[in-house]
Amino acid sequence: MTAKKNQNLTAIVGANISRRRKKLGLTQAEMAEKLNIGGDSLSRVENGVVAPRFQRLEEIAAVLGCPVADLFRQASDPLDAKLGAVEDLLRFLPPEAQDDAVRLMKDLAEFIKKYYVGKEAKN
């Protein structure tokens, strides 16, 4: 893998860690403490200066409540980013509440789809 590709992947991982940390309302200092690392080390990871080791990636994912694979996702597709946000919201609900939320989202999406399709037909 080229150095440029490594830098790009490091930047993607860092940005995803930063985004998820902020979504959870954690400061860099709080997250660094949970990981038992210095705040400057976490800052370098989030800024894409250094890549975390595999074991550290597992620890980071555990603190952020996500699979390690999610830290490598590119936000190039706007729908992927939206789906990721919904997944983050559902992740902390009990399974039965997740099922209810998905049913509600499906019903809402169908309702909105009918509204927009009807609106487009009138134009």
Query: pLDDT for 81-105, tens place per residue?
Result: 788 778 878 888 999 999 999 999 9
Q: Which two tokens stand for residue 115?
A: 């509204």
Q: Is residue 24 part of a domain?
A: yes
* Domain housing 46: 3-74
Task: Determine, yes or no, domain membership for 18.
Answer: yes
Q: What's CA 25's distance to the chain center, in Å?
A: 13
Does any domain span residue 43?
yes
Q: What is the CATH number of the domain that holds 67?
A: 1.10.260.40
Position 54 in a domain: yes
The pLDDT of residue 18: 95
Q: Decide if pLDDT at 3 tops 60.
A: no
Residue of higher predicted confidence among 79 and 20? 20
**What b/e sequence results for 8-28 when a residue is b if at least 16 CB atoms lie within 10 Å of its CB, and e otherwise?**
eebebbbbbbbbbbeeeebeb
Asked whether residue 123 is domain-assigned, the answer is no
In a domain, residue 91? The reply is: no
State the total domains in the chain: 1
Confidence at residue 115, expressed as pLDDT on a 0 to 100 scale: 85
59 is a domain residue: yes
> 119 pLDDT exceeds 80?
no
Q: What is the pLDDT of residues 40-84, one digit of tens each?
A: 999 999 999 999 999 999 999 999 999 898 899 876 667 777 887
Could you tell me the pTM of the whole model?
0.62
CA distances from 24 to 17, 98, 119 (A): 11, 19, 38
Is pLDDT above 60 for 39?
yes
Q: Does 17 fall in a domain?
A: yes
